Amino acid sequence: MYLSKVGKKMNKMSGVRAIMTDIIETLAKAKDKHFYNLSAGNPVVLPEVRDLWKRYIRNLLDSDEFDQAFCRYGGSNGYVPFIKAVCSQYNKHYNWNIDVKNVIVGPGSQKIYYYIINAFSGSSENGEMKKVLFPLSPEYTGYSNQAVEYDTMISYRPKIDILGEHEFKYRPHFENIKIDDSIGVVVLSRPTNPTGNVVTDEEIKKIIEMAEQRDVPVVIDNAYAPPIPNICFTEMTPQYGDNVIHCFSLSKAGMPGARIGVAIGNERYIKPMQAFQANSCLHSSMLGQAVAAQAMNSGELEKISNAVIRKFYFDKKALALKTIEENFNPDIPYYVHKAEGTLFIWIWFKDLPITCGELYQKLKQEDTIVVPGDGFFPGLEHDDWKHKQECIRLSMTTSDDDIVEGLKRIGKVVGEVYGK
Ligand code: PLP
Q: Is the domain of 269 the same as that of 312? A: no
The reported pLDDT for the residue numbered 382 is 92
The reported pLDDT for the residue numbered 245 is 98
* Domain annotation covers residue 53: no
**Ligand 1 atom nearest to CA at 112:** 16
* Domain annotation covers residue 323: yes
Q: Is the domain of 225 the same as that of 99? A: yes
Q: Is the domain of 250 the same as that of 288? A: yes
Q: List the CATH number of the domain containing 163.
A: 3.40.640.10
DSSP secondary structure of 30-71 = TTTS--EE----SPP--HHHHHHHHHHHHHHHTSTHHHHHHS
223: Cβ contacts below 8 Å, ≥ 6 apart: 109, 140, 189, 193, 247, 248, 249, 251, 252
Helix residue ranges per DSSP H, 97-177 = 109-120
Q: Is the domain of 263 the same as that of 140? A: yes
Cis geometry, peptide bond prior to residue 191 (ω within 30 degrees of 0): yes
If one residue of 109, 228, 232, 343 were mutated to test the ligand 1 pocket, choosing by the most ligand atoms within 8 A of its CB, it would be: 109
Q: Is the domain of 283 the same as that of 217? A: yes
Q: Is the domain of 276 the same as that of 337? A: no
CB 253 within 8 A of CB 109: no
Q: Is the domain of 357 the same as that of 273? A: no
Q: Torsions phi, psi of 359, nearest 5?
A: -65, -40
The reported pLDDT for the residue numbered 18 is 80
* Domain annotation covers residue 54: no
As a dihedral over the C-alpha atoms of residue 209, residue 263, residue 296, residue 288, rounded to 10 degrees, the angle is -160
Domain span at residue 170 reads 73-298
- Cα 300–chain centre separation: 24
Q: Of 260, 276, 298, which one is at a domain's C-terminal end? A: 298
**Ligand 1 atom nearest to CA at 250:** 15
**Ligand 1 atom nearest to CA at 110:** 16
Task: For residue 308, give the 3-state DSSP assignment.
Answer: helix
Q: Is the domain of 274 the same as that of 242? A: yes
The reported pLDDT for the residue numbered 41 is 83
* Domain annotation covers residue 113: yes
Q: Of 298, 317, 343, which one is at a domain's C-terminal end? A: 298
Q: Is the domain of 13 the same as that of 83? A: no
Q: Of 247, 276, 298, which one is at a domain's C-terminal end? A: 298
Claim: this prediction has a pTM higher than 0.75: yes
Output the CA 256–ligand 1 centroid distance in Å. Answer: 9
Output the CA 109–ligand 1 centroid distance in Å. Answer: 6
In short, whether 368's Cβ falls inside 6 Å of ligand 1 is: no
The reported pLDDT for the residue numbered 321 is 98
* Domain annotation covers residue 167: yes
Separation between Cα atoms, residue 420 and residue 416, nearest integer Å: 6
Q: Domain count of the chain?
A: 2
Output the CA 228–ligand 1 centroid distance in Å. Answer: 13
Output the CA 118–ligand 1 centroid distance in Å. Answer: 17
In short, whether 261's Cβ falls inside 6 Å of ligand 1 is: yes
DSSP E strands: which ranges in 300-398? 334-337, 344-349, 368-369, 371-372, 391-395
Q: What is the pLDDT along the chain (420 residues), one digit of tens a residue?
A: 999 999 998 888 776 778 888 888 888 888 888 999 999 889 999 999 999 999 999 999 999 999 999 999 999 999 999 999 999 999 999 999 999 999 999 999 999 999 999 999 999 999 999 999 999 999 999 998 899 999 999 999 999 999 999 999 999 999 999 999 999 999 999 999 999 999 999 999 999 999 999 999 999 999 999 999 999 999 999 888 999 999 999 999 999 999 999 999 999 999 999 999 999 999 999 999 999 999 999 999 999 999 999 999 999 999 999 999 999 999 999 999 999 999 999 999 999 999 999 999 999 999 999 999 999 999 999 999 999 999 999 999 999 999 999 999 999 999 999 998
